[in-house]
A = this chain, B = another copy of it.
Amino acid sequence: MPVNIAPLDPAALLPIAGVEIGIASAGIKKVGRKDTTLFRIAPGARVAGVFTLNRFCAAPVRICQGYLAAGHEIRALVINTGNANAGTGVDGMQRAQAICAATAVELGVEANQVLPFSTGVILESLPADKIIAALPAAKADFSASNWAEAASSIMTTDIVPKASSTQVQIGGKTVTITGIAKGSGMIHPNMATMLGYVATDAAISQPLLQQMLKYAADHSFNSITVDGDTSTNDSFILIATGQAGNDEIVDANSADFAALQAAVLQVSQFLAQAIVRDGEGATKFITINVEGGASYDECKAVGYAIGRSPLVKTAFFASDPNLGRILAAIGYAGINDLDVDNIEVRLDDVLVAINGGRNPDYREEQGQAVMNKAEIAINIKLNRGEHKATVWSCDFSYDYVKINAEYRS
């Protein structure tokens, strides 16, 4: 069961002026399952994306990268579940392009203004004809209030839909940010995650939108892990429709940029953490705070070494304060000049390890009390610099094996 995710309240999801969403059933894996989601974006909006670094990236990822790099004005997103269109070669590219072309005809735009996204099984041929046949129904469903429905329709092994909204004042105008994401397994994003979409009505220049997206990705989706497997289809898209009426943000050092970035980050972190809380088989939500590092990257490497260690994750599943496994993971995180005698490790506020060994005052029952909780922080001080990073992870349970041994994801 997901760890501490409040049920989605559709009324709390705020529409974004300039974004409409329609949903349909193409019958990709199951007849009647809502598996196709169409976004229509008003003219003049700006769109930025970051994508998986997996070399076996899916056909739709390659197409998105190409269209965004060429600077085309993006007018639509079309998303399917049930098939990743990855490991599908030239044929997969042609099928994704056919979907873009059909969507363009449906909406009266150009094919290179449509970004395609797929998620599901790898190495199987995408039934593009079914998706194309569902496009009119998706168009007929267009509404600015369909964010909750979209959060559900992009799910695969997810148990709960993931969505969040916030508002912030920018230059005297109320700016709204709403986002959705999906993901539960094959979660170890590298540059982005398994389908995240955040939209705002703020006006912001294209380079700053890209900069903001990169920052938000690094500190949200690029800071989580469920199983250490980096997907072929990770995509994170930030849309700015510019309809809030604020003066366009063009200065990365301005208060407006900072305010919008904080709000985008808030929504992105909520979504990324929701993916971990809904991680396959998860029973615990683990926050790994690493500070005192010589660089952000080394802090993150330590966080990820702990967060993806099967031994750490099974110990947390068992609520077993077998904390030597955390030290072992820190030790193999790849910091070759790490002086372990300077490290402090705390479980929540309980000091476990110091001076290269166990804190003499630490008592097993203190660790046990923390391990019994569903939300646990591992707090690490490297004491060798001023940088810090946070990684979010979950435990590793029988159900992870069950889900991945029994489900063809």
Contacts and interface: CB of A to CB of B under 8 A. Distances in A.
Task: Say whether chain A's binding surface is mostly helix, strand, loop, or mixed.
Answer: loop
Contacts of A401: 314, 317, 396-398, 400-401
Say how many copies of this protein the assembly contains.
Answer: 2
Nearest to A357: B89
A56 B330 contact: yes
A231 B311 CA distance: 11
B324 A357 contact: no
B310 A357 contact: no
Categorize the interface residue count of chain A: 35 or more
Interface in A333-375: 333, 335-336, 338, 340-341, 352-353, 355-358
Contact of A331 (B54, B121, B356): B54
Contacts of A227: 309-311
A387 interface: no
A232 B56 contact: no
A311 B186 contact: yes
Contacts of A5: none
A97 interface: no
Q: Which 9 A-B residue pairings sit nearest by Cβ, starting from the closest? A: A122-B324, A89-B357, A56-B331, A123-B324, A318-B405, A314-B404, A54-B331, A230-B332, A89-B356
Interface of A: 53-57, 84, 86-92, 121-125, 185-186, 188, 190, 227-232, 308-311, 314-315, 317-318, 320, 322-325, 327-333, 335-336, 338, 340-341, 352-353, 355-358, 396-398, 400-402, 404-406, 408-409
Given A123-B357, A311-B404, A318-B404, 6 more contacts: A56-B331, A56-B340, A122-B325, A123-B327, A228-B309, A398-B401
11 contacts: A87-B358, A89-B355, A90-B356, A121-B322, A123-B357, A229-B311, A229-B328, A232-B328, A232-B331, A310-B404, A318-B404
